[in-house]
Amino acid sequence: MIAAIVFAVLIPVLIAYCYKNAYARPPNFPPGPPSLPVYGAFWIVLAHGFNDLATAFRKIGEKYNTDIIGLFMGPVPTVVVNDSKLIKEVLNREELDGRMDIILFRLRSYWKKLGIFFTDGYFWHVQRRFSLRYLRDYGFGRRDNTLETVMEGEIKEMLDIRMGGPKYPAEKEIVKGDLVYMPYYFSVPFINGMVQVLSRSTLPRSDYHALWALSRGTVLFQRSSTDMGGALSLTPWLKDVLPNYSGYNTLVKGNQYLLDFYRTLVEDALKTHDETYDRHFLDMYITKMKQEMKEVERTTYSVDQLILTCTDYTFPAASAVEFVLAMLVERLLLQPEVQDKIHEEIDRVVGRDRLPTLDDRVNMPYLEACIREQMRVDTVVPLGVPHRAMTDVKLGGYDVPEGSMISVNLTMLSMDKEIWGDPENFRPERYIKNGMLDVASDKNLPFGAGRRLCAGETYARQSMFQVFAAFMQAFSVSTADGKPLLKPAPRIQGIITTIPEFWVKLTPRT
């Protein structure tokens, strides 16, 4: 009897408590969905778009008639911005430059806060300033003759794998007769280019298998992540209880390829380091690290930090840029007239007797516009990397508490009809004015903005042009089965937008 009475009293109290907490919000917090126990609004978000969080937040914004959504992801107050103007404001406000401290970021960096992408404060300022200052000396962020020559050599090898056929076992997984496997056919020049920037060396063709493994591992990690954290970040103990089901083991496996690859390079640099002569960026960092360890009580420099710096700068080169080009290849299959226009421009500007170079870029606005349009149509990083409010801030008339997670829905910017007119159409001509590339017309932000602007933007844009121009100069593209492609493949949304790997037929342009 007593138990029944207690039960009868507790149930209403529990319901009232859950109801109160479901709608409890900080003062003047943006409108949004209620919170459920443990996971907050996470399940509600998934219900609006399980495989596409950017679309889910668009739908939620429409439901609550707001461009700024306020919700709780677990216990964390979270703001998602769908408005194009406010997106730019968030990316350019210094007090919103923080990063969240979640398991997704910790597991990739030896359970510490290391690297460049996912750190903030003094640590981030010091490490980012040093790395960018000296990486520029090796072509990261500006033109460099040595790097461009190396890239040209890597591109020639890429072309030869198809033209001359596979020479090593791993190449047989990428090229089969006149078919090549996308996006990994593009991977090596981008990754070896970054290896060149960091260590003034590249892996020979006989070791390309290591670069393809690294690319596959990075893609595995990206696809196993979600921009907003997911159940694993909200309840980290799942890694011990359900390591496979929660995705933890897959994340660790994918990330380990990059860590192991760069630990080998860094350890080799340590063994051969000479304090009187810096051969490359790794040497410059090691010299600074040893100096700081002697002179500073607490330093931000360490071997692990150097490894994570290398992995962070290689991350986009090992996954994002080749998928941009792979989706652009798919676009050529959907709209063959785009391929014809690219071929005409290459033949007119470059011809067939030499490879395109960065000097040709200014005279090839259509190809450059195609790359830009592809990054708009398929938003590269749909929700960016989550920011953290470093202090209480006012945003769009609402109050955002310190420590809140803030995400910008970049898909809303890239598909804004007021900006683009017909955003659903792939139309490279929108960036061309009077026969020249009109950079000012590109309002898209595939690399972010502000102090969190992706440091690899210049490298990515230059290398994508070099690789794709040479690729299109050499080949005509068609489907593997010879049938017209009628619709695009489904998109896979992780940290970045990818598509399922696919085979494509390449016919040499003789």
Specify whether the CB–CB gap between 367 and 61 falls below 8 A: no
What pLDDT, in 10s, does the model give residues 128-138? 999 999 999 99
Question: Could you tell me if residue 442 is inside a domain?
Answer: yes
Q: Which of 156, 219, 235, 108 is nearest to 496 (CA)?
A: 219
Alpha-carbon span 402 to 406, nearest angstrom: 11
The helix or strand, by DSSP H or E, that contains position 20, with its residue range, turns out to be helix 2-22
Alpha-carbon span 108 to 477, nearest angstrom: 37
Question: Could you tell me if residue 447 is inside a domain?
Answer: yes
Question: Could you tell me if residue 220 is inside a domain?
Answer: yes
**Cα separations in angstroms, 169 against 28, 161, 173, 177, 261:** 61, 12, 8, 14, 20
Alpha-carbon span 343 to 471, nearest angstrom: 10
Question: Could you tell me if residue 1 is inside a domain?
Answer: no
Specify whether the CB–CB gap between 494 and 222 falls below 8 A: yes
**CATH number, position 124:** 1.10.630.10
Question: Could you tell me if residue 287 is inside a domain?
Answer: yes
Q: Binding site residues, as ranges?
A: 454
Alpha-carbon span 332 to 335, nearest angstrom: 5
What pLDDT, in 10s, does the model give residues 263-320? 999 999 999 999 888 999 999 999 999 999 988 888 999 999 999 999 999 998 888 9
> What pLDDT, on a 0 to 100 scale, did the predictor assign at position 57?
95
**And the tokens for 182?**
């996308």
Task: Establish whether the linkage from the previous residue to 500 is cis, with ω within 30° of 0.
Answer: no
Question: Could you tell me if residue 2 is inside a domain?
Answer: no
Low-confidence ranges of the chain (pLDDT < 70): 1-22, 226-229
Q: Helix, strand or coil for residue 156? A: helix
> What pLDDT, on a 0 to 100 scale, did the predictor assign at position 295?
86
Question: Could you tell me if residue 103 is inside a domain?
Answer: yes
What pLDDT, in 10s, does the model give residues 467-497? 999 999 999 999 999 999 999 999 998 889 9
**Cα separations in angstroms, 234 against 30, 113, 181, 230, 257:** 21, 18, 36, 6, 25
Specify whether the CB–CB gap between 64 and 71 falls below 8 A: no
- The label of the residue with tokens 């907050």 reads 40
**And the tokens for 253?**
């496996």
> What pLDDT, on a 0 to 100 scale, did the predictor assign at position 227?
43
Neighbour-count burial of 378, counting CB atoms closer than 10 A to its CB (0-12 exposed, 13-18 middle, 19+ buried):
buried
Q: Which of 171, 188, 202 is nearest to 470 (CA)?
A: 188
For the chain, how many structural domains are there in total?
1
Alpha-carbon span 318 to 185, nearest angstrom: 12
Question: Could you tell me if residue 498 is inside a domain?
Answer: yes
The helix or strand, by DSSP H or E, that contains position 399, with its residue range, turns out to be strand 398-400
Cα atoms in the 13 Å half-sphere on the side-chain side of 3: 0
> What pLDDT, on a 0 to 100 scale, did the predictor assign at position 228?
46
Which domain does 277 fall in, by range?
7-508
Q: Binding site residues for heme, as ranges?
A: 454
